Structure 1
């Protein structure tokens, strides 16, 4: 049987500078990963990426930061080839990249749709393609989606709608990569207590989301805390390898399928 321990493994995290991606980087380093590649999107997140890299090194792992706008296939390909050249082929590849838009369907512009599709669908597609090319046999691939994929709700057509294709990308990749022992999963957190969440929501919506999950009263914020998501990702990329081709909603009972 293949070794599914995190110790000694090489990890690549797209969107690994801060929030959930940054905490996953720190956690996997603490679990004994050999090297963690931390991707960040732009100069505005460079400092956060360097801070995460410093924490990864303090935990005993090698750290590499790489900047890229991943909305082109060439950029995703370069991210993987640069990572492989620097630290070797990844055993674990995690994509946390995403963009949210909350807006009435009839007001969404073509430019807004194109941007949402590029970030949420196209990036995910080509990340999975390059992971299939570069991740070692018996590796693990995880993509972040959203618990809104289990919701019947207005105003998120462009956000949830451009995350939805990732479910089928995940199933197809799991089937195609499975013969190499690679498991592929999607993780859909509920609304998370991060700066990613609040700008899109009004005060009333924030109040609703903080009470909408079955376990809201047991959460420190009422929302999904990133600390509650990290252990599941850790499990999926190690002992949970047998879970593949599925979307796992981690949301305290916010939505279900």
Structure 2
């Protein structure tokens, strides 16, 4: 009997929110997981401990996603520790809310650096490293279709993520690697709650026909589906996981 090699996942932004839930779920589904983080070392270690306590394999890897040398080093570490990379989840992200007319351009620059350059750097490294049969999943946002005021800069950055996702899927023809994006709706993460009052949160929670906020675990299930064999016929798509918001 031939033993199947364990699949290996690199999850950026893996220390909190959707990235954390995704790392834990991938670990539970049998992946060895490199939990990517930038500044939250303690939180990343807690995710690793959660995975290993359940019998999985995991390790923290630190990298600023916009720094190509740090990202390459993180992939080197994952390959050395686990033998290769099969799944890359681009979950690291930044949000900034402001009407476009009032936007501090330093906020735009920060969003660009993390959400666009960071996603591009990680996706570029993934395209070079992911083994045949693997998957790349980027995180976008359903705000692109909802046109919420104050989300102009954030939505613009995620529009770039969707564009690079669809193009990379076609550039990897012949490698049996899927590239997709998941676009969550309002989801109960620290990033979502930041800067919002209770009335705004309640209004957003009531928008989906399911009448609640999504959870990080809801989104992690979608990401994990796309990362695994069951989702491998889905390629070059943006999946809007938002509870039915139009």
TM tier, smaller: over 0.9
1:147-226 mapped onto 2 (5 Å cutoff): 147-216=142-211, 222-226=212-216
1:63 to 55, 58, 61: 58
Distance 1:249 1:178 in 2: 24
1:89 and 2:84 are equivalent in the alignment: yes
Once the two structures are TM-superposed, the CA of residue 80 in structure 1 deviates from its matched residue by 1.6
CA contact (8 A) 2:86 2:131 kept: yes
Partner residue of 1:31?
Answer: 29
Structure 1 regions of 5+ residues with no counterpart?
217-221
Which range is displaced more, 15-24 or 92-101? 15-24
Distance in 2 separating the partners of 1:115 and 1:102: 12
Cα RMSD between the aligned structures? 1.5
Residues 1:249 and 2:240 aligned together: yes
CA distances 1:146-204 after superposition (whole Å, capped 9, x unpaired):
11111122211111111111111011110011310000000011111111111132333
Q: Distance in 2 between matches of 1:207 and 1:174?
A: 37
Gaps of at least 5 residues in structure 2 are none
More displaced 10-residue stretch of structure 1: 113-122 or 227-236: 227-236
For each residue in 1:202-250, what CA deviation from the matched residue of structure 2 results, as whole angstroms up to 9, or x when unmatched? 333212101111111xxxxx21112222221121111111111111000
CA contact (8 A) 1:101 1:200 kept: no
Q: How many residues align?
A: 242
Give CA-to-partner distance per residue, 1:84-109, whole Å, 9 cap, x none: 22322211110111111111111112
Tell me the CA shift for residue 76 of structure 1.
Answer: 2.2
Q: Residue 218 of structure 2 corresponds to which residue in structure 1?
A: 228
1:65 partner SS = strand
Specify the alignment match of 1:219 in structure 2.
none
How far the C-alpha of 1:28 sits from its partner, in A, is 1.4
Could you tell me whether the CA contact under 8 Å between 1:32 and 1:60 is conserved in 2? no
Larger displacement relative to structure 2 (127-136 or 17-26): 17-26
**1:189/1:229 contact within 8 Å kept:** yes
Contact 2:64–2:70 at 8 Å: present in 1 too?
A: yes
TM-score, length-scaled by structure 1: 0.89
